[in-house]
């Protein structure tokens, strides 16, 4: 195993406000390097898949108009149509695996949306079939968390809590939802992925890494903000790929920027842990 850590680009183009977005992306790369990994931010420019965006390319994705948001299914459209595109969790995993990368850091994975008969992120399908360590601050609490956890179990994703038995919810370090399996070191994440591959079991090892307590938000306070944002989205007819960015921006406004600060903190925290996993000398794949 090499020490490369894949980083997604949706956070640059769609997840954070301009200015903050590419500064955060560069901070994530620095966090990976500081902890022993080699960062490779993934994106698509003019239809070309790039694993390891340069700084000026990261800034371009963070400022250019009409940047597509692509999951695995939309990658060929972006490449065929020569478009600029930011990669979500699923797309980044698919591209990174093709390049032999086994560690990936993101913010929170996609899951099952609330109030829908069937609205499930491509992320879960990609997690079920791609052998990779994915470091995430759980899932966003704007999702239907119990259903998301059920889907992860159904699709055979190995979920482990990093030094926690409470499933983190993006902005919140703890939640009412439990994790059955825990690890206490970067080396243990590597060993579990190695065993999955040795046993011929498909899928990722999803490492749920809580946001630092100093930046964590109160679960009940955040839940109230989310209900308000969801009502606003329904009234305005916001759905599909536009829903998550809308909800996150609305919640950031309602919280006077607290959720934005938390978002940046957890992204850098996840990148740091991914760097330690990729750079670990205690267990190699």
Q: Which residues are catalytic?
A: 8, 140
Q: How far is CA 66 from the centre of its chain?
A: 22
Residue 51 β-bridge partners: 42
Contact (Cβ atoms closer than 8 angstroms) between residue 32 and residue 274: yes
What is the CB neighbour count within 10 angstroms for residue 192?
A: 18
What are the distances in angstroms from CA 45 to CA 52, 60, 79, 83?
12, 9, 8, 6
What is the CB neighbour count within 10 angstroms for residue 268?
A: 18
Contact (Cβ atoms closer than 8 angstroms) between residue 89 and residue 138: no
Which ranges in the chain belong to alpha helices (H)? Answer: 10, 20-34, 55-63, 75-80, 89-98, 122-129, 145-154, 186-198, 219-236, 243-254, 258-278
What are the distances in angstroms from CA 284 to CA 3, 35, 135, 203, 256?
10, 16, 17, 18, 44
């Amino acid at each position: 195993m090499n020490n490369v850590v894949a980083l997604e680009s949706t956070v640059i183009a769609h997840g954070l406000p301009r200015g903050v977005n590419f500064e955060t992306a560069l901070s994530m790369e620095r966090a990976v390097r500081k902890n022993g990994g080699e960062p490779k931010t993934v994106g698509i420019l003019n239809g070309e898949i790039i694993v390891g965006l340069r700084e000026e390319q990261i800034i371009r994705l963070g400022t250019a108009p009409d940047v597509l948001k692509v999951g695995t299914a939309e990658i060929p459209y972006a490449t065929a149509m020569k478009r600029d595109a930011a990669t979500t969790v699923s797309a980044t995993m698919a591209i990174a695996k093709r390049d032999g990368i086994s560690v990936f850091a993101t913010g929170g994975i996609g899951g099952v949306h609330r109030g829908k008969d069937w609205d499930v992120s491509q992320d879960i399908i990609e997690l079920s079939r791609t052998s990779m360590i994915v470091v995430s601050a759980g899932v966003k609490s704007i999702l239907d968390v119990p259903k998301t956890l059920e889907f992860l179990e159904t699709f055979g994703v190995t979920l482990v809590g990093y030094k926690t038995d409470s499933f983190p919810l993006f902005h919140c370090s703890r939640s009412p939802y439990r994790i059955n399996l825990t690890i206490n070191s970067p080396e243990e994440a590597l060993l579990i992925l190695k065993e999955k591959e040795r046993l011929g079991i498909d899928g990722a090892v999803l490492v749920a890494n809580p946001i630092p307590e100093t930046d964590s938000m109160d679960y009940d306070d955040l839940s109230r903000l989310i209900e308000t944002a969801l009502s606003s989205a329904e009234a305005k007819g916001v759905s599909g790929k536009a829903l998550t960015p809308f909800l996150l921006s609305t919640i950031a406004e309602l919280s006077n920027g607290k959720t934005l600060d938390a978002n940046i903190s957890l992204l850098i925290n996840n990148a740091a842990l991914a760097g330690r996993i990729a750079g670990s000398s205690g267990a190699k794949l």
